[in-house]
Structure 1
Amino acid sequence: MWSERVVPGEPEIFVAWQQGVGDRTLLAIHGGPDWDHSYLRDPLEQLDCRLLMPDLRGCGRSGRVPEEEYHPDGVMRDLVRVLDEFGVERADVLGHSYGGMVAQRFAITHPSRVRSLIVSGSSVLPVPPDAFAGWTERDEILARQEDPWQREDLSPEECVRAEAFAAVQANIWRPEAIPGYLRRLEDVRFGAEWARPFLAGTLVSPRLPDAAQRIAELGIPVLLLHGKQDMTFPVSLVEPTLKLIPHARAAVLEEAGHMAHVDEPDGYVGAVREFLASS
């Protein structure tokens, strides 16, 4: 049963949450960043633990801030407020895509608040320019993908939404999963608050220098949860990351792309459940 809460402050942060059982709390951080949390609900809602799913500042139903305040440091403060509001001292933290980099930053900057870290459809290491060299199918898919930002008749918010729909084939590997994913996208509250500083060249990346070394030094359990067919963050970065974070483990879903939780929901939630049970 989902509940909703608005965490007071500047800005207000909207949180969808499930009570769950036991004393474990999973804080799930969405990507985009100009999406909301809703595309991640299924299958994470199948977990037994308490689940907190905030909309990042400026996203979904959370409050807006001046353009210069769309900065990862502000997001770190927001996440602390979310945990404090729910009385959570330490949480298991999952971040997907852009949210994966946010989750890493939170673990590094607030280690006392993080029990374990799940990097989902994202990467700890920077993506090299030639990471996808030779992947012809990806090249063909991206070549067919319309770029809505080239259209003058669309607002920035409409561009973000159109981009999400245009990227369906790049994000979903299994054709049979596409209809359900399209229905899921219809319910996402897209915005463009983060896109504006990005287009202006002022957006700061949440990725911290030497993230792998700094996460390794934390000594917390780490799971790299990845779709083998991910066309955004290459699966080839998983093994090098495991060498840099010796206590980390990986779960690679063979028939899944960037939205691995949509392509292989059972495998995805199973990997999360097993990791939480053993960490």
Structure 2
Amino acid sequence: MWRERRVPGETEIFVAWQEWPEDRALLVVHGGPDWDHSYLRDPLAQLDCQLLLPDLRGCGRSGRVPEYHPDGVMGDLVRVLDAFDVERADVLGHSYGGMVAQRFAITRPERVRSLIVSGSSVLPVPPDAFEGWAERDEIMARQDEPWQRVGLSPEDVRAEAFAAAPANIWRAEAMPGYLRRLEEVRFGTEWLRQLQAGILVTPRLPDAAQRIAALDIPVLLLHGRYDMTFPVSLVQPTLDLIPRARAVVLEDAGHMLHVDDPDGYLRAVREFLDGAALDGGLELGRARPV
């Protein structure tokens, strides 16, 4: 059962959490960034560990601040771990949250036991990453580009999320459930306003792959084969740079891989957290069904 807590500090951070008797915690960082954590609850709720899913500052039910520099977010995540008496956590980040999670591992290595980069990338996305993918070109051509308009509301962000669903979900069978999930998300505009003002600093650090490799921690790259935001082609070059990294590519999934293939996603995360990645239990390829 999900419980709720607010962590005080520079800005109040809302955390949805699940308790588990064993001494292991998974800190989950959502994407968007003007979304909340809720779209990631399922299937992670089935894991046998303590789950901590905060809303990033300015998102969901967390407090608002004048600026959204990633260093402030790092401090927020430390406060969340401190509030739950977690010395070191396994950390999972999805999409934009994947870059936040990487920065957290690099800048707060003493707080991170392992790292899962889900539907995101360690390496920068090159301009020609999706060249020749006609189906993606057709889907993207139908997408609205509202981000240059001033005065956007949370409802505008919600509408964009619904419009972008075909670019995020690969399996048609998964679409109805995904749209229902979007209905529950608390959307915002705080980060978007910083982006429009040209003052939003990327959480991606230079030479992130080399810096993560130097941490010598287990890393899982968890990706959908048909991700239209972060190309699967970046997985293998990342593995070449991070010796302790392993990868699972879900063959019938897109950017929201946990929605397209919840069983494969859950199995990959569970095996990784159980230590399978340390002895070669995860390989690049199709994840075996649960």
| Global fold match (TM > 0.5) | yes
Tell me how far 1:19 sits from its aligned partner: 0.4
Tell me how far 1:149 sits from its aligned partner: 4.0
Tell me how far 1:146 sits from its aligned partner: 2.5
CA distance in 2, matches of 1:143, 1:212: 32
Matched ranges for 1:15-54 at <5 A: 15-54=15-54
Give ranges in structure 1 of 5+ residues lacking alignment. none
Matched ranges for 1:130-141 at <5 A: 130-141=128-139
**Residue 203 (structure 2) pairs with residue 206 (structure 1):** yes
Asked if structure 1 preserves the Cα contact closer than 8 Å seen for 2:169 and 2:253, the reply is yes
Residue equivalent to 2:11? 11
Matched ranges for 1:165-204 at <5 A: 165-204=162-201
Matched ranges for 1:59-74 at <5 A: 59-66=59-66, 69-74=67-72
Asked if structure 2 preserves the Cα contact closer than 8 Å seen for 1:21 and 1:48, the reply is no
**Residue 125 (structure 2) pairs with residue 158 (structure 1):** no
1:195 and 1:151, CA in 2 relative to 1: closer, same or farther beyond 3 A?
closer
Asked if structure 2 preserves the Cα contact closer than 8 Å seen for 1:256 and 1:263, the reply is yes
One-letter amino acid of the structure 2 residue matched with residue 19 of structure 1: E
Asked if structure 2 preserves the Cα contact closer than 8 Å seen for 1:156 and 1:195, the reply is no
Matched ranges for 1:101-112 at <5 A: 101-112=99-110
One-letter amino acid of the structure 2 residue matched with residue 27 of structure 1: L
Asked if structure 2 preserves the Cα contact closer than 8 Å seen for 1:124 and 1:241, the reply is yes
Tell me how far 1:65 sits from its aligned partner: 0.4
Asked if structure 1 preserves the Cα contact closer than 8 Å seen for 2:147 and 2:196, the reply is no
Residue equivalent to 2:121? 123
Q: CA RMSD in A?
A: 1.1
Matched ranges for 1:236-275 at <5 A: 236-275=233-272
CA distance in 1, matches of 2:116, 2:200: 24
Residue equivalent to 1:58? 58
CA distance in 2, matches of 1:170, 1:150: 20
Give ranges in structure 2 of 5+ residues lacking alignment. 279-290
1:151 and 1:107, CA in 2 relative to 1: closer, same or farther beyond 3 A?
closer
Dislocated runs of 4+, deviation >3 Å: 148-152
Tell me how far 1:161 sits from its aligned partner: 1.2
Asked if structure 2 preserves the Cα contact closer than 8 Å seen for 1:96 and 1:122, the reply is yes
Asked if structure 2 preserves the Cα contact closer than 8 Å seen for 1:93 and 1:117, the reply is yes
One-letter amino acid of the structure 2 residue matched with residue 28 of structure 1: V
Residue equivalent to 1:147? 145
Tell me how far 1:160 sits from its aligned partner: 1.4
Tell me how far 1:162 sits from its aligned partner: 1.4
Question: What fraction of aligned residue pairs are identical, expressed as a percent?
Answer: 79
One-letter amino acid of the structure 2 residue matched with residue 42 of structure 1: D
CA distance in 1, matches of 2:86, 2:259: 29
Tell me how far 1:144 sits from its aligned partner: 1.2
CA distance in 1, matches of 2:74, 2:245: 23
TM-score by length of 1: 0.97
Tell me how far 1:150 sits from its aligned partner: 6.4
Asked if structure 2 preserves the Cα contact closer than 8 Å seen for 1:18 and 1:50, the reply is yes
